[in-house]
Structure 1
Amino acid sequence: MASLDISQLRNVTSGAIKSAEKTNSRVYNVLGDDQKGNDQAFSVIFGQAVENINTTNAYLSDAENEEIKWALGQTDNTHDLSIAIQKAQTALQYTVAVRDRVLSAYRELTQMQI
């Protein structure tokens, strides 16, 4: 039976996990006990959302570049192509999931009675 090295799979997501942990700690540090924490927390979360979109766009661009290189015969390495495509798909799915949650929260807020 062939052995499967899953250490490469962990490395793909470890950067995203570390980024999420860093963001989480920033949000909790900003919230604190004072009233200004809510405004700062929103700006931190919004900044991270913009950074997430930029990262997703970069992954999509990298995947597209790898596809073009492979289609033009500039590379025979399908491994890099498949990794780039998988990263782009995962990042896009995550971004869409975050967007859906934000829209859901917005709808819930707009339906609240004052």
Structure 2
Amino acid sequence: MALTLYGIPNCDTVKKARRWLDDHGVAYRFHDFRKDGLEPAKLQGWIDMLGWEKLLNKSGTTFRKLPDAQKESIDAASAKALMLDQPAMIRRPVVEGVGDPSVGFSADDWQQRFA
């Protein structure tokens, strides 16, 4: 299976990840959440494997703009609905294609995983 990197092109972490893949000659396909969308079944698969807590980007401005009551009462169902409605709430990048899906970028981890 080919490597697929999911994210948003203007995200700094996605930019670092793409630069790392390019610099290390790792072929990949970029999937833009906003432009290409995200199937609910795909997101559910990530939630099943990684957990919604790991996928939900609580440090981003999109999440921080939510009302406090909504942030405090978040659960798996509401987190999934938020991520589908506003893909910027998904921690980035999500990578599929080599082993289990992963979320986030770490040059050291990626060196071991993709080299």
Q: What TM-score do the two structures reach when normalised by structure 1?
A: 0.25
Q: Which has the larger Rg?
A: 1
Q: When you count strand as a share of all residues, which structure comes out higher? A: 2
Q: When you count helix as a share of all residues, which structure comes out higher? A: 1
* Larger RCO (CA within 8 A; separation ≥ 6): 2
Q: What TM-score do the two structures reach when normalised by structure 2?
A: 0.25
